[in-house]
Amino acid sequence: MRLSEVIWKCRKGIREVDILLSRYTEKFYPHLSEEDKKIYVEFIDQDTYAILDVLVNDKKPENEKFIKIVEALKSFN
């Protein structure tokens, strides 16, 4: 998936989440392996509030394969 398409998918409707996902995507997505890119896109395709719970409320991701992405997003400034 092209970078511009992934950035578009980062628009979740909650400003803070949009900014975090967009900036992370611009900086790191191009350098991810193909498998990690697929997992990342699956993660951002989730419901906005599921993403918010994982990133802000420290809820555990529903799928174990998202843990690496969640940790990277939480440590990203």
Decide if pLDDT at 49 tops 90.
yes
What's the pLDDT tens digit per position in 2-37? 999 999 999 999 999 999 999 999 999 999 999 999
For residues 77 and 60, give the distance between their C-alpha atoms in angstroms, rounded to a whole number.
20
Q: Which domains does the chain have, with CATH numbers?
A: 3-75 (1.10.150.250)
- What does pTM read for this prediction? 0.91
Sign of CA dihedral 21, 16, 71, 51: negative
Sign of CA dihedral 26, 74, 37, 53: negative
Quick one: angle between helices 48-56 and 15-28, nearest 10?
Answer: 80
pLDDT at 46: 96
Per the prediction, the chain carries an average pLDDT of: 94
For residues 39 and 24, give the distance between their C-alpha atoms in angstroms, rounded to a whole number.
14
